[in-house]
Each structure stands twice: as structure tokens, then as C-alpha cells.
Structure 1
Amino acid sequence: MLYGVVVFPEKHVQDFANSWRRRLDPHYSAIPAHLTLREAEEWSDDELQTAVNHLEQITSAMPAFSIQLNRVSTFYPVNHVLYLALQDTVPMQQLHDKVCSGPMTIAEPKYVFTPHVTIGQELSAEELHDVYGNLRMQAIDLSSRIDRVHLLYQTDNGSWTAYQSFLLRG
């Protein structure tokens, strides 16, 4: 089964992101607005249990924190993705580093970790530039408390649902 690890921002951030995702993100109906900590991967039952144990351990020592999203950015030309960017990526980077350590280390990551909330993907270059040109002019000032990590799995219909949530208790 396919599993991934994410955090969900607070509802007001999800609502803002979803106002764009409805039109620009083909995965809008499959998963709520989120920040990916570990890309999806096929796991056996043993690997799943190892991941659960690891997430229990790291979240017990990590405190909750706040993030600030302050602009729209893009991964163009590598990927035709628009996203909400963080003002300070350090707390999310630290959480990612802890999640992706020990038994959950990623040997060869596909991308450099860039914490973000996707608002559009699989766009044509023209549409990406048009929407990005408009959005980068908007003043964005969204904050969100991050107090839990979610282990998700993909269902047969392609949507994602929580397998287990882990409170940041440090």
C-alpha cells in the first residue's frame, strides 16, 4: 500500500489554498491542502509498523510550532507547480529531517525538500505564467500552528486518508 507523511495547516490556510486548488490542482479532491514531509512510498506491513514506531518516537520529543506563508512561488521549469511559500522554512526542515531519519531515511530523494502548500500543478507553461503573474502581486500573510503529523495511505479510488496522527508533544 502507498503511504506518505504530511502536516495539514489550519482551516483558514486550507480554505485560501483551496480557493485556487479547485481550479488549478487535479489532486484537489484526493487530498486536502497540506505540506508533504515524506513523499509517498509503497510499504509492507512491517515497514508500516516501523514507520509508526519511528513517528511516535520523534513526535514525542518535538514541540508544536507556527509557520508563516507569505508569498506564491513556483518550481518552474523543473515542475509546473504553483505553491504557497514559507517565510521561514527552518522548523519544517527540522521536522522533515527528523521524520526522514533512521528507518525512514530516503536513500536518494527525487527533490530537495522545499516545504510548501501546492495550489496548482500539472499546468501548461502559459497557464502557470499567467496565474503566477497575478498571484505574485497579492499580499499574502497566513500563519498556521503545526501541532501534529499525519501518516496517510492511498485508498483504492486514489484519495488519501489518515492512517494515524501523531501529536507534537516535545
Structure 2
Amino acid sequence: MNYSVAIFPSEHVQQEANSYRKRYDSAYALIKPHMKVRQPFPLNEEDDLIDAVSELKRIARETAPFSYQIEKVSTFAPAHNTLYFKVTPSEELKTLHEKLYHGFFEGEKAYAFIPHITIAQNLSNGEYADLHGTLKLKQFQYEEQATQFHLLQEQEDGKWTVKETFTLGEE
């Protein structure tokens, strides 16, 4: 089974993201708007899951709640026709990301950490150009609070569900 770790933004930001995702995100039905802080990783044994949860509890306990800003729409073009809400990478967010690649979660990073919330992906060149042209003119300014992160589990149908939630700074 594949797992990942993500932070869900506020309901307001999720609604804003979904207003675009419904039409432009091929993964709309698979997962709600989120900021991934650990790329997917496999856990094959029940003991591995128990160890992962234990380590995530430790990381959450040692991580204080923090704020982060969403400042605009950005893109992964030309590599991918993907648009996203760009999250300013605070020190706390970068530290959490690093913790999720050490110890039990040791692993290679497939990509540089670019915190974001996807709002459109797998677009044709025409769709991408139209939507990007419209969205780059709009203001998106949100101050968000991260108080939890979530262990997500990929289901056989490709949907991601919350396996467990971890509250930051909680004993």
C-alpha cells in the first residue's frame, strides 16, 4: 500500500481550490485539496504501519503549530501543464518536510520541495494557456494555520483516504 503525508488547508481555501478543480483537475474525485509534505511511500507490513504511526506521532509532538501563506497561482510549466496555489515555504514547513525524510522515513526525494495546493493538472495546451492567463491576474492571499497533518492511504481505486490525523505540538 502507498501512503503519503499531507496538510489540509482551511475549508475556505478548499472551496476556492475546488471551484477550479471540479473542471480542471483530473484527480478531483481522488483526494480533497491538500499540501503534500511527504511524497508517497510504500508500507508493506502491518508492523511497518505501526512503526510509521509511532514516528509520525513523535514528529507531530515535536512540531509546533505554524502559519503559512498562499500568495498566488503558479505553475510547473513547461514540464507539466499544472496550476497550483503557491505556498510560501516557511522555516517550520521546511523543517517538517525534512523530518519526514529522515529516520524511519529515510528516502530519496524525487523532486525539490515546492509546497503547493494543486488546482488544475493534465490540461491540454489550450486549456492551460487560457486558465493560466486568467488566474495569473487574480489575487490569492491567504494566511493559513497548520495545526495537524494527516497520514493518507491510497485505496485500490486510486482514492486517498485519511488513515490517521496527528495534532502538532500535542503530547
Q: TM-score normalized by structure 2?
A: 0.93
CA displacement, residues 29-74 of structure 1 (integer Å, 9 cap, x when unaligned) = 1111000011122211232222111111111011111111110000
Count, aligned residues: 169
The residue number in structure 2 matching 1:81 is: 82
| Whole-Å separation in 2 of the counterparts to 1:39 and 1:157 | 19
The residue number in structure 1 matching 2:4 is: 4
Which structure 2 residue ranges, 5 or more long, are not aligned?
none
- Residue identity (%): 35
Is the CA contact (8 Å cut-off) linking 1:38 and 1:100 kept in structure 2?
A: yes
After superposition, the Cα gap between the structure-2 partners of 1:38 and 1:87, relative to the gap in structure 1 and judged at 3 Å, is closer
| Whole-Å separation in 1 of the counterparts to 2:93 and 2:119 | 18
Is the CA contact (8 Å cut-off) linking 2:89 and 2:115 kept in structure 1?
A: no
**Would you say 1:16 and 2:7 are equivalent positions?**
no
Partner of 2:92: helix, strand, or coil? helix
The residue number in structure 1 matching 2:143 is: 143
**Would you say 1:163 and 2:163 are equivalent positions?**
yes
Amino acid at match of 1:48: L
Partner of 2:29: helix, strand, or coil? coil
Question: Considering only aligned residues, what root-mean-square deviation do their CA atoms show, in Å?
Answer: 1.4
Q: TM-score normalized by structure 1?
A: 0.93
Which structure 1 residue ranges, 5 or more long, are not aligned?
none
CA displacement, residues 9-33 of structure 1 (integer Å, 9 cap, x when unaligned) = 1100101111111111011111110
CA displacement, residues 51-100 of structure 1 (integer Å, 9 cap, x when unaligned) = 11111111101111111111000011122210000234433212111122
